[in-house]
Structure 1
Amino acid sequence: MLDFLTLLRENPYPGRGILVSRDLVYYFIMGRSANSRNRIFVKTEDGIRTEAHDPAKLEDPSLIIYHPVRTMGDALVVTNGDQTDTICQHGDFRKGLMTREYEPDEPNWTPRISAILNADGSFEMSILKHKNGRCLREFFCYEGCDENQGYFISTYQGDGNPLPTFAGEPLEVTVPKPEEVWAALNGDNKVSLYTNVNGEVRLFNKNLGD
């Protein structure tokens, strides 16, 4: 099992990341461009959404404004894009994601990462990635996990140009406290963090001084 804080401290740009454990979900966003960094998380009736911190500076909103977290029945859906809405519209994690593919941001072809945490503690994670000009859709199902253990997936392996897509299975990691995760994210690139621990939601936003 990897130490999650060390993993974050040693990687300046994993992009967007999802950590799922039993009764727990963390989701963070990072940014290199001014447009990506000009965001905050705000609560909604059934989850959260991204919002421009300074609307006057908002450029292309298509890939940065979305609902990262929504409830679907008694399950919690978290993703790095508007596929959250697609999953909820289909009422099914896999069926929704089978209609989607990676983001059209050549040359990075940012993958779409998604997860669903069910009421019984089981969960599923997915990544939709570009490979040889086609979309590779990978799904990982877990019956649950031990206490203080989680699984982490991110959009990128690290910084680069183009950005290297996450590879392999979700990483088995330790589960630190929300404030420890926020502190471990790269200070220049981090933007926002959502944490939901046993239903207690906390939001961290760099643009609001967190």
Structure 2
Amino acid sequence: MEKLRLNTYPGRGIVMGFNKQGDQAIQIYWVMGRSENSRNRILVQEGNVVKTKPFDASKVKDPTLIIYTAMKEVRGGHLVSNGDQTDSIAQIIEKGGTFGEGLRERTYEPDAPNFTPRITGEYSSESESPFFILSIIRKDPFSDRPIHNLQLYKPESGTGKCIHTYEGDGNPLPSFKLDPYLVTLEGSIDQIAQTFWDLLNAENRVALAVKGVDIRTGKVDFKIINQLGNK
């Protein structure tokens, strides 16, 4: 947790794991920003979907890469990502494909010189033994080729794994190159949301959403915090 607190600009991030009781799968997604365009965003819940939206539509300069579906459920799979791959993966799963197949043709974001990684996660509740998958697609440092890293895991209760787009602030921004790292998940989804919100740099944090999925019933709950407030 200290690693995240000390990072002034981890960028967008994903955490997935189980709550302390082990009866709820937890997904966390957060957005950070340095520019006015990036900070002019909120996360909104529409049914079981969470999307990024502009707080003030008149100030939007370029919606590309900043307006997208962040969380979505499809065929027992709960998706979370930092871009439009949420919807493209959902479309492939709806046609009988898999999470991995949905990522196969995707690459890092075309935002040179940063080449921001695409980070994506899935909680799969279809099998008798639920599990998580975390993916990061980043640019090869020696070519334009995308490098795909995928990790399947089932954490202990009260823990999750964290991944984010950047190792820290910089110009250009340095892509996250580490393995997903362990974090604790304690309390209700409201408490988890506040814990992670407080860990994020107060100047750069934009919005955060926590999704809880009851392992037995599939019931879903959300908690969203927006720096600019809710509309």
TM superposition score category, shorter chain reference: over 0.9
Indicate the residue corresponding to 1:110 in structure 2. 116
Q: Percent identity?
A: 39
Matched, 1:165 2:175: yes
Which residues in structure 2 correspond to 1:1-210 (within 5 Å)?
Answer: 4=1, 6-22=2-18, 23-91=25-93, 92-119=98-125, 120-131=129-140, 132-142=143-153, 144-176=154-186, 177-198=192-213, 199-208=220-229
Whole-angstrom distance in 1 between the partners of 2:196 and 2:183: 12
Task: Count residues with an aligned counterpart.
Answer: 204
Residue 197 of structure 1 deviates from its aligned partner by: 2.5
Return 174-183 or 111-120, whichever deviates more. Answer: 174-183
Q: Which runs of 5+ in 2 are unaligned?
A: 19-24, 187-191, 214-219
Q: Deviations over 1:6-41 (max 9, x none)?
A: 222200100000000031111101000100000001
Q: Which has the larger radius of gyration?
A: 2
TM-score by length of 1: 0.94
Which residue identity is paired with 1:172? L
SS of 2:198's equivalent in the other structure is: helix
Report SS of the residue matched to 1:15: coil
Distance 1:69 1:60 in 2: 21
User: Partner letter of residue 180 of structure 1?
Assistant: T
Aligned counterparts of 2:41 and 2:211: Cα–Cα separation in 1: 20
Shift of 1:66: 0.2
C-alpha separation in 1, matches of 2:63 and 2:119: 19
Secondary structure of the corresponding residue to residue 194 of structure 1: strand
Q: Deviations over 1:87-118 (max 9, x none)?
A: 00110211111111000000000000000001
Larger deviation, residues 57-66 vs 41-50: 41-50
Q: Secondary structure at the match of 1:183?
A: helix
Paired letter, 2:185: V
- Which runs of 5 or more structure 1 residues have no equivalent in the other structure? none
Question: 1:98 is aligned with what amino acid?
Answer: R
- Pairwise CA distance, 1:121: 2.6
Root mean square deviation of aligned Cα: 1.2
What is the rounded CA distance, in whole Å, between the counterparts of 1:33 and 1:21 in structure 2? 31
